[in-house]
Structure 1
Amino acid sequence: MFLESSPKPIDSSLQSSVEKLEKSSPGLSVIAARQFRYSLVQTGIELMVTSPRKFNVLEEFILRASLEITPNPTEVELAQVLGLDPIFVRNTSANLQALNTLKVLPDGSIQITPEGRTFYEKGSVPQPPESHPLYAIADPLLEATAFELNPLRESALNLPNLGDFLPLNSRIQSVESLTLPEVQQRLIHQGLGFHSPESGKEVTAFQIAESPETRWQSVALFAIFDTLNQRLTLQLRRGQQLLESATLWLETLQSEGEISLTELFALPCKESSPPENPEVEARLEQVRTAATTSEDNAEENTPETGSVILIAESQIQTQFLETLKTANHQVLIYLPQFIEQGIDYRLLQGLETLVKRGVWILMGQGTVSEKSSETPPILPEWLTKLAAIKTAEGLSAIQFVELQQSHAKEVVIDRQIYICSAPNWLTYGGDCLPQGESVYQVTQPEIVSDAYQSLSTQFQQRAESLWQQAIISQDESLATTSLSIWGALGMTETALQQIQDRGWRELLPIWLKIACQGLRSQQMSPDDPSLNQALSQLSELTPDSPQLDSLCDAWRQVIAVIATGDRTLALNLLCEPVWQDFIRLGIASEAVESPDAFIDSELAKLATTVSSIQNLPLKKSKRHKSG
């Protein structure tokens, strides 16, 4: 939201994985996470597999005879011993020879082979080889080839290609280069059951059956900062699985300067962020130092000395909104850039509630370069929403202007609370990685005063600049903004003096409306000399003076607001000369018998107006996706 820590460059699809990792490993912070796709090479192959079967009685007899009878018998001799037609013995012998378990010597005798001896001991003979299709998957990240029973599905995966950033092709092993023992060992390791020598099942050969094809696989890249050891590590993950060998290879590439983390994570360059303002950075450094000291000496912190606390990232939104509610007089806000998602319904509701209590709100953003075409200085839609928040007298209660460029977000509430944050950057291997932001809440008087002085001076200078522009162009809208800024800063006397110096009496009703909000926020005292000074000018007006109707309404509102707090002060303002001017100019009706009666009448009107404003429903704003 408004002052929350800047979002880290983490793909939304990886957010839950990031949260699990950080929760299970305190001290680790994922500062960037991005999903990629990379290509696997799938090749269809054909395995030749032999499997054993139990031999029959005649096979067993022939093999046993070839082992135990000396000299080796012939097929005819075995047929005579068994009392069988020699053709049966010859056929069975031929089958055993085909299975490489038996051979016929030149003299016609039979001899068992070493393979035959092995099978005989197991009580089985091999069957003729069978063909089995299989798919070899070469994975460059694992730098290995695995086998699958079924082909991988084709998937485009709308993700950036990791191969555009890393030399993956150099890690792919061609299937043709695999030897039979390597294939056999991989099959054993994967437990696919094709090659199991102890059971007699063996892969005796393999060949390429289909041309290589590309298949896409997703993988996640994490940049993880160890806050305890101040060390950054990279990790490649597939789901919850850490790809250890690929991670080591990636870190080697990075250490050798072969890759850029800025490019891998599509990170903004530090140079593209708002430049550091030396004055603001010095104040932030003071805050960071004070935060450490304040934490070490927490028991010594008192309301007089104040404190500096680092707001937990998960509590930033809630803490800011709760602190904002405490404002009674004035809120100054600065943002380097005003983004659309910076305001939501809760903030709008909070600002409007403050305005109803009389709180002045000034908002500023850094000056946007004319060369920049990325974002307009102010988004019209949100400017409209802010401008729609009005004071009871109908003035825009939130002034939004451009100030000096800075890299920090700053808020000062009632000159007592200072909330600030600035982007954190980590330099690693020549790359700058954003680490989000650290948000602090400060009540140490010296720091708060310094921050207020800096911001208020900028707003004051902006008011003076706009006032000069308003004079040249006779633009009452610009003039109203200047007067409102002065009013928000408690400089209503300066605002009135500027009106008098320029003889711009048409702006007196605006000044009086500003005074009403100043009285509510206690930025202006009911006995402020500027009120008597403004009242003294009534004698110079006539019933046909321009803007008289607006002026009359404004004075009625001012007297009513003052009387709400202190009726006696309001009566003191309506001394006899002033009261006569009120009657003469029609501010008070001739039918009104006295200042007391006039005050009673205006208080009744004010109560009705305030009640109707407070009962207006707040409209929820539609959520917009950032472009």
Structure 2
Amino acid sequence: MFLESSAKPIDSSLQTSVEKLEKTSPGLSVIAARQFCYPLVETGIELMVTAPRKFNVLEEFILRASLEITPKPTEVELAQVLGLDPIFVRSTTANLQALNTLKILPDGSLQLTPEGRTFYEKGSVPQPPESHPIYAIADPLLEATAFELNPLRESALNLPNLGDFLPLNSRIPRVDSLTLAEVQQCLIHQGLGFHRPESGKEVTAFQIAQPPETRWQSVALFAIFDTLNQRLTLQLRRGQQLLESATLWLETLQSEGKISLTELFEICSTRGEESFPQENPEVEARLEQVRQAAIEPVTDNVEENSTPTGRAILISESQIHTQFLETLQTATHQVLIYSPRFTEQGINYRLLQGLETLVKRGVWILVGQGTIPGKLSKITPISQEWLTKLAAVKTAEGLSAIQIVALEESHAKEVVIDRQIYICSAHNWLTYGGDRLPLGESLYQVTLPEIVSEAYQSLSTQFQQRAESLWQQAITTQDESLATTSLSIWGALGMAETALQQIQDREWLELLPIWLKIACQGLRSQQMSPDSPSLNQALSQLSKLTPDSPQLDSLCEAWRQVMGVIADQDGTIALNLLSEPVWQDFIRLGIASEAVESPDAFIAGELAKLAANLSPTQNPPRKKSKHHKSG
């Protein structure tokens, strides 16, 4: 019924990332995720980089003399002071002039330039510019240019081109339009080490060295629904990195109606309308109550926020199927199920085995499926194969324990267990900017008494109405099969008295064996008490029967079974039911053999048969028997 996870457009390669995001962010559900590729533009660049070096002793002496000696010295004067051949001084001053740190005035004296003064203070002189190859990568998603030391690897990505859906070409930055200052700033930001003015290393120029080439980059697009705030967000991710600026641009395009998310995620826009019915206002109001009740436990610690009166919790989608089956097994007497659609994936062997286990414990199960208002035909009914398998799940007395009937159309799946636990889920679609996106299932498990009671009342009323309708048809057509279904529904709802009263009012006493089988299951599930007045009422009908009455054999066997089950729970009550008039009817009709000496002996025999027929795993919890054999 509740699938392991809903069929949402999520690329298999992104499934792990989706599960991690949903696990670490309660209340968030990834409703679609798809990988794309898009083109980057790679351009070869040549940088001209200057870097300082420590000056040597002669350079330091010349620069210092040019700065501090007055009047300014000439090359010949410095050579004389140093005792060097003037050729060595001229060679050094020529290098300093080439580096724009020193100039020779018309009178031959030496003067430090402003750049030279700066380098002198740093204790270094600039070197001639060096050429460094680098690669400019223009990224249209980020609308920015980055630099790489090595060219990107060429790779063919077998992914849809994001450029087919988004206007990427208009966002590709032109590398040849970059200014030197922009290049320098980008190099500083990336920390590539080419431009570090504080250390004297500077990019002084750049030029295009290789023509632009296309390279491909992968990117993931996520559509994420916040179930608490009922809000959809989009995210573009590269691995674990969220591309914030690209995400903002994408949301702007969506808000302006310039892109379609159904096209981006390949979602059929009519699929939701064909597959799921329209909202039922009453049910939707109840679901909204549940959503609001679940908000606080989802955002904080569940145990701290739960109250003695119950709670509502949101189950993560990956845990829906497992959680449903585990909770289902807590049932002790009754399960009401409604689903607008049943699929082969939802009705499966795990569910069937779980239902069989419940029935062995005495649990009644009612299953409702939706119909289109005003039409008799069912929509996507349970397949005949599974109808046969479900109908084959019998009570110990051979009565079908799972009743499947058509109810009002609704968009939600609802389950009520023992009138104490309410499980609800709706496979909704989100209308977003004209698109319809699948939200998947949001399963809630509720133990808040008021909400559980309201849900039970709604479902049980529908089942009651269906039982009454089938009963009227059965009366008109004298169809015992329809009548059995009606009686079983009443029995499952704990309305055995109503079922018996209908049989009496119509004097349809041939149905008494069916009612007794229903009573056996009710006694096992403790929906019916061993001292229920309806049992005495049923016993009073025996006086109306004769040894040649129809269905007498079935009636006799059914009463033996009922008395055995009652005696197993409370022997004293079983004996009290067998009053003298009743015991005489038991003997007269052959329910008890004339060879049986007393009610005591009869009960003892039925207890022995019950013990022999039921395996230990089939025996329900029982009270200590109060039956004692008479001496």
Shared fold, TM over 0.5: yes
Instruction: Specify the alignment match of 2:184 in structure 1.
Output: 184
Residues in 1 aligned to 2:416 and 2:465: alpha-carbon distance in whole angstroms:
13
Tell me, in whole angstroms, the C-alpha distance in 1 between the residues paired with 2:595 and 2:164.
86
Tell me the distance in 1 between the aligned counterparts of 2:489 and 2:163: 55
Indicate yes or no: 2:571 matched with 1:567. Answer: no
The CA deviation string for residues 407-434 of structure 1, in whole angstroms up to 9 with x for no partner, is 1233445668766555677665455664
Cα 1:499–1:179 shift into 2, 3 Å: farther
Alignment match, 1:41: 40
> 1:462 & 1:47 partners in 2: Cα distance?
88
Judged with a 3 Å threshold, the aligned counterparts in structure 2 of structure 1 residues 66 and 509 are, in CA distance, closer, same or farther, namely: same
Name the counterpart of 1:195: 195
Equivalent-residue separation in structure 1 for 2:585 and 2:367 (angstroms): 41
Deviation at 1:194, TM superposition (A): 0.5
Does 2:459 match 1:455?
A: no
Q: Could you tell me which amino acid in structure 1 is paired with residue 40 of structure 2?
A: V
What is the CA deviation profile of residues 428-486 of structure 1, one whole-angstrom value per residue up to 9, with x for unaligned ones?
54556649366655645677545421233235546877999996xx9x7x886566445
Q: Which of 254, 274, 277 is the equivalent residue of 1:274? A: 277
1:568 partner amino acid: L
Contact 1:424–1:438 at 8 Å: present in 2 too?
no
Residue of structure 1 equivalent to 2:403: 399
* Structure 1 unmatched ranges of 5 or more: 23-27, 293-306, 370-374, 617-627
Instruction: Name the CA shift for 1:329/1:61 in 2 (closer, same or farther; >3 Å).
Output: closer
Paired with 1:385 and 1:470, the residues of 2 have a C-alpha distance of: 26
SS at the partner of 1:597?
Answer: helix
Partners of 1:311 and 1:227 lie apart in 2 by 13
Q: Residue in 2 aligned with 1:579? A: 587
Using a 3 Å threshold, how does the CA distance of structure 1 residues 159 and 466 change in structure 2: closer, same or farther? Answer: farther
Correspondence 1:429-444 to 2 at 5 A: 429-430=433-434, 434=439, 436=442, 440-441=446-447, 443-444=449-450
Label 1:118 to 1:596 Cα distance change in 2 as closer, same or farther (>3 A): closer
- Mapped to 1, the partners of 2:398 and 2:549 lie a distance apart of 24
1:200-599 → structure 2 map (5 Å cutoff): 200-203=200-203, 204-209=205-210, 211-219=212-220, 221=222, 223=224, 225=226, 236=236, 243-261=243-261, 271-272=273-274, 273-278=276-281, 280-281=283-284, 311-313=312-314, 329-338=333-342, 351=355, 354-367=358-371, 377-378=381-382, 389-412=393-416, 422=426, 429-430=433-434, 434=439, 436=442, 440-441=446-447, 443-444=449-450, 448-458=456-466, 461=469, 484-485=488-489, 487-489=491-493, 490=496, 492-493=499-500, 513-521=517-525, 522=527, 527=535, 529=537, 539-540=547-548, 553-564=557-568, 565=570, 566-568=573-575, 571-572=578-579, 575-576=583-584, 578-582=586-590, 592-593=596-597, 596-599=600-603
Letter of the 1:276 partner, please give it. E
Distance 2:351 2:577 in 1: 35
Could you tell me the TM-score, scaled by structure 2's length?
A: 0.68
Check the 8 A contact 1:486/1:495 in 2, yes or no. no
Q: Which residue of 1 aligns with 2:627?
A: none
The worse-fitting range, judged by mean Cα deviation, of 175-184 and 414-423 is 414-423
Question: Following TM superposition, by how much is the alpha carbon of 1:193 offset from its aligned partner in structure 2, in angstroms?
Answer: 1.1
The answer to whether the Cα contact below 8 Å between 1:358 and 1:518 also exists between their aligned partners in 2 is yes
**What residue is the counterpart of 2:618 in the other structure?**
614
8 Å Cα contact 2:523/2:565 also seen in 1: yes
Aligned partners of 2:462, 2:468: CA distance in 1, in Å? 10
> Structure 2 vs 1, CA of residues 83 and 291 (structure 1 numbering), >3 Å: closer, same or farther?
closer
Please, which moves more after superposition, 561-570 or 181-190?
561-570
Match of 1:173 in 2: 173
Q: Give yes or no for contact 2:341–2:380 (8 Å, CA) kept in 1.
A: no
Identity of aligned residues (%): 60
Aligned to 1:298: none
Matched with 1:622 is none
> Relative to 1, partners in 2 of residues 1:411 and 1:570: Cα closer, same or farther, differing over 3 Å?
same
The whole-number CA distance in structure 2 between the counterparts of 1:460 and 1:147 is: 78
Cα pair 1:40 1:217 within 8 Å, conserved: no
Go from structure 1 to structure 2 and tell me whether the alpha carbon gap of 1:391 and 1:54 turns closer, same or farther (over 3 Å shift): same
Stretch deviating more after TM superposition (453-462 or 153-162)? 153-162
Structure 2 unpaired stretches of 5+: 295-307, 374-378, 621-631
1:494 and 1:267 map into 2 onto residues whose CA distance is 54
8 A contact 1:467–1:482 mirrored in 2? no
Equivalent residue letter for 1:609: N
Q: 1:319 to 1:94 in 2, by over 3 A?
A: closer
The answer to whether the Cα contact below 8 Å between 1:99 and 1:126 also exists between their aligned partners in 2 is yes
1:144 lines up with 2:148 in the alignment: no
Preserved CA contact (<8 Å) 1:422 1:439: no
Give the whole-Å Cα distance in 2 for the aligned partners of 1:594 and 1:185: 106
* Aligned-partner SS, 2:578: helix
Alpha carbons 2:9, 2:34 under 8 Å: kept: no
Amino acid at match of 2:38: S
Partner of 1:624: none
Tell me the alpha carbon deviations over residues 368-402 of structure 1, each in whole angstroms, 9 at most, x when there is no partner.
99xxxxx9633789768755654222444223344
Q: Are the structure 2 counterparts of residues 420 and 215 from structure 1 closer, same or farther at C-alpha, using a change threshold of 3 Å?
A: closer
* 1:173 CA displacement: 0.9
Contact kept? 1:492, 1:530, Cα under 8 Å = no
Change (3 A) 1:208 1:570: farther
Shift of 1:606: 0.8
Indicate how the Cα distance of structure 1 residues 288 and 612 shifts in structure 2: closer, same or farther if over 3 A, else same: closer
TM-score (norm 1): 0.68
Q: Secondary structure at the match of 2:259?
A: coil
Q: Is the 8 A contact 1:50 1:127 kept in 2?
A: yes
Distance change in 2, residues 1:394/1:454 (3 Å): closer
* Whole-angstrom CA distance in 2 between matches of 1:592 and 1:172: 99
CA contact (8 A) 1:415 1:452 kept: no
